[in-house]
């Protein structure tokens, strides 16, 4: 039995009102999981949403934020593909009750959603790799495959999944147009490889997208934002274009007009990175491991907080800065 610290909330609410550090204990990992001593934990909008009680996977308290971690394996069940001492990064079982999130000294990690950390990757970068690139892969490789020569419009390009989508789309030979909201974030998008970066605050920015594509419109829209930004993006979709519906960072999903979809011959496809079979997951994680190890993609690391400031890290997601937000757990 291991004992340590864990951030948790016994009721839903704003992070500042409900999150607290408590003492916790962890036993041996069940089959399909491994126990990791956490070095760093990636946080994102789902952590803010689950704390508030508006995340569909976490339907009742307690809330255990921290969906992904990096660290050292300290215990494995019989037959595990990992060994004690391995340096790993992967997804926790945050939705399964007490002390199951990654904002803690220890965490149970899902073995099928776990990767070895490349030697050249820091703990902080490793903690922010899995979810953003698994999401981008699910969208741009599995559900809405992007081929060389395509034009991809990425909403929320400075967010973690958006930045990962920029990198992955470029790695697949696409031209990428990124949309973000400030000069700092537009610069960040370009650093990730975007060929063009436009501000959604510019009136009729979608007209510029059409101009860039010489009137053809874009082939794929990667949409983790929803709301007005997504509605404007649809105005720039091309014939036979496809929308990858990822999330609703704006607070609302894209409101699809089915008549417009029919008349303009485009489609919308839902993307949930947790909704794949074990065989599909294995293929995806094998490819992600190769991409990470080769340096073809890299974690779009943003601001790093210390463990004691994890509540502030989650609150900061109300107005996130560029890149993936990470909490350093072990100094």
pLDDT at residue 275, rounded to an integer: 84
CA dihedral (280, 114, 185, 228) in degrees, to 10, reads 40
Report pLDDT digits (tens) over 167-208.
999 999 999 999 999 999 999 999 999 999 999 999 999 999
Cβ–Cβ < 8 Å for 306, 327:
yes
Check whether domain 132-270 has CATH 3.40.50.720, yes or no: yes
Looking at residues 235-254, what average pLDDT do you find?
A: 95
When computed from its CA atoms, the radius of gyration of the chain, rounded to whole angstroms, is 20
pTM of this structure: 0.93
In the chain, what are the domain boundaries?
Answer: 2-129+299-328, 132-270
Which pLDDT band, with edges at 50, 70 and 90, does 20 fall under?
very high
What backbone torsions phi and psi does residue 318 show, to the nearest 5 degrees?
-65, -30
Question: Mean pLDDT for the chain?
Answer: 95
Write down the architecture of domain 2-129+299-328 according to CATH: Alpha-Beta Complex (3.90)
Confidence (pLDDT) at 98:
66
Instruction: Tell me the per-residue pLDDT of 50-76, one tens digit each, with 9 for 90 and over.
Output: 999 998 889 999 999 999 999 999 999
Bridge partners (DSSP) listed for residue 246: none
pLDDT digits (tens, 9 = 90+) for 278-293: 899 999 999 999 999 9
Tell me the pLDDT tens digit for each residue of 86-100.
Answer: 999 999 998 777 668
Q: At what angle do helices 205-212 and 227-234 cross, to 10 degrees?
A: 40
């Amino acid at each position: 039995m291991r004992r340590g610290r864990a951030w948790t909330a016994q009721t839903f609410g704003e992070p500042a009102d409900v999150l607290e550090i408590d003492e916790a204990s962890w036993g041996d990992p069940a089959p399909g999981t491994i126990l990791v001593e956490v070095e760093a934990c990636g946080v994102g909008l789902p952590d803010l949403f689950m704390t508030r009680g508006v995340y569909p996977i976490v339907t009742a308290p307690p809330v255990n934020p921290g969906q992904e971690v990096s660290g050292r394996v300290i215990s494995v069940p019989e037959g595990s593909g990992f060994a004690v001492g391995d340096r790993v990064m992967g997804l926790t079982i945050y939705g399964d009750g007490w002390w199951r999130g990654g904002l803690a000294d220890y965490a149970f990690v899902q073995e099928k959603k776990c990767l070895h950390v490349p030697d050249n990757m820091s703990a902080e970068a490793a903690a922010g790799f899995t979810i953003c690139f698994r999401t981008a892969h699910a969208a741009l490789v599995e559900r809405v495959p992007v081929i060389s020569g395509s034009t991809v419009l990425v909403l929320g390009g400075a967010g973690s999944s958006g930045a990962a989508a920029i990198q992955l789309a470029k790695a697949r030979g696409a031209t990428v147009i990124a949309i973000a909201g400030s000069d700092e974030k537009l610069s960040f998008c370009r650093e990730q490889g975007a060929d063009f970066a436009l501000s959604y605050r510019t009136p009729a920015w979608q007209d510029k997208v059409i101009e860039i594509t010489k009137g053809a419109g874009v082939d794929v829209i990667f949409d983790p934002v929803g709301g007005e930004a997504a509605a404007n993006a649809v105005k720039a979709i091309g014939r036979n274009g496809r929308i990858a519906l990822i999330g609703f960072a704006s607070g609302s999903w894209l409101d699809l007009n089915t008549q417009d979809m029919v008349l303009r011959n485009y489609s919308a496809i839902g993307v949930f990175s947790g909704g794949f079979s074990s065989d599909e997951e294995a293929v995806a994680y094998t490819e992600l491991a190769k991409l990470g190890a080769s340096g073809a993609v890299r974690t779009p690391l943003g601001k790093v907080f210390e463990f004691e400031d994890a509540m502030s890290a989650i609150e900061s997601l109300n107005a996130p800065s560029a890149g993936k937000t990470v909490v350093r757990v072990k100094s």
